Copies of this chain bind each other. A is one copy, B any other.
Amino acid sequence: MGQLLKPDDFVVGLDIGGTKFMAAVMNHKFKVMGRSRKRSKSRKNPSEKAEDRIIRIVEEAIREAGNPVIKGIGAGSPGPLDPATGIIIDTPNLGWKNFPLADILKEHFGVPVVVDNDVNVGTYGEWCFGQVSQCEDVVGIFPGTGIGGGIIINRKLLHGFSGAAGEVGHMTLEVDGPYCGCGKRGCLEALASRIAIAKEVAALAARGDAPYILEHCGTDLANMRSGEIAEAIRAGEKMVESVVRKAAFYTGIAVANLINILSPEAVVLGGGLVEAMTDLYLEEVNRAVKEHAMKFLRKGVKIVPAKLGDDAVVLGAAHMIAEKLSAT
């Protein structure tokens, strides 16, 4: 993969998250030479604009790498966004609406920029640098606070007509199921995200059925982090485990639907919940796929955990801009 860039070419991978920003400067072999990371909102200066803060961390990462000349910037951002123009359509967390992120970065740094949905970019990173780089068709699914997905078909990210394909978290799985943040009912996200799990686990704690959770997290959904939930299961809280297994099984049904529809060669499972409870997720997803995907479609499909962790987006984004540079 070193062929995309020439020796002495450097690119920036940028991960614009709802809670943190990260920039990494990489050399032509995608080795990280400098890195900067900050919360999305400054505590000292809460009125600082998100875009100014992003420019600052890119500059810091470049400085940390020893001030190389950079050739381009790739960025993953929460969507919906238009990857063709690099305009972010709407991200309430960052206060952006029809925000021309690509143009702003291009103008400030004077280099080509690509912007894509963060989950797409993360899937792409796992595909470029993870266990499934030989596969033509790959699906990524990332259960965490929300549930995002990325779809690679014929070795290309699927964007579709709107530019925003891959909203697997809003696949309806139970027609009259629980309400979702999107306003619909029965979405995968309403059934299986960290928030969906947290609400059940908090109720267990409130009823006295999850003493570990009650002691460590109280009954506030905001405190039910994936790591704490995993600890409660390790501490033997069987009802907490049942709640998570049910959510993981729903995630697996969504994977089965994607296998029935798309027939991918591999499925990558990532996100906070999977990172914290990898074996449990692999077990339940495989069980659901066996029950809900057609035999001739699931045969030989690799279901693997993501391996890049926090670096999936910066690596995927860096690879995307490198491809763009090498194509021109």
Contacts and interface: CB of A to CB of B under 8 A. Distances in A.
A172 interface: yes
Interface stretch (A4-12, A162-170, A275-283): A162-170
A161 B293 CA distance: 14
A78 to B, nearest CB: 13
A263 B171 contact: no
Contacts of A136: 161
Contacts of A170: 260, 294
A131 to B, nearest CB: 15
A25 interface: no
A145 interface: no
A153 interface: yes
A261 B171 contact: yes
Interface stretch (A66-74, A197-205, A297-305): A297-305
State the main secondary structure of chain A at its contact with B: loop
A122 to B, nearest CB: 17
Contacts of A217: none
B261 A167 contact: yes
A174 B175 contact: yes
Contacts of A299: 162
Contact of A172 (B149, B166, B253): B253
A165 B261 contact: yes
- Number of chain copies forming the complex: 2
A257 B164 contact: no
A279 to B, nearest CB: 23
Nearest to A265: B161
A264 B161 contact: yes
Contact of A153 (B158, B164, B253, B296): B158
A160 interface: yes
A173 interface: yes
Interface string A44-59: 0000000000000000
Interface string A276-320: 000000000000000110101101110000000000000000000
Given A167-B294, A261-B261, 19 more contacts: A80-B296, A89-B296, A90-B296, A136-B161, A154-B154, A161-B263, A161-B264, A161-B300, A166-B261, A167-B261, A171-B260, A171-B261, A172-B253, A172-B257, A173-B173, A173-B175, A175-B253, A184-B292, A257-B257
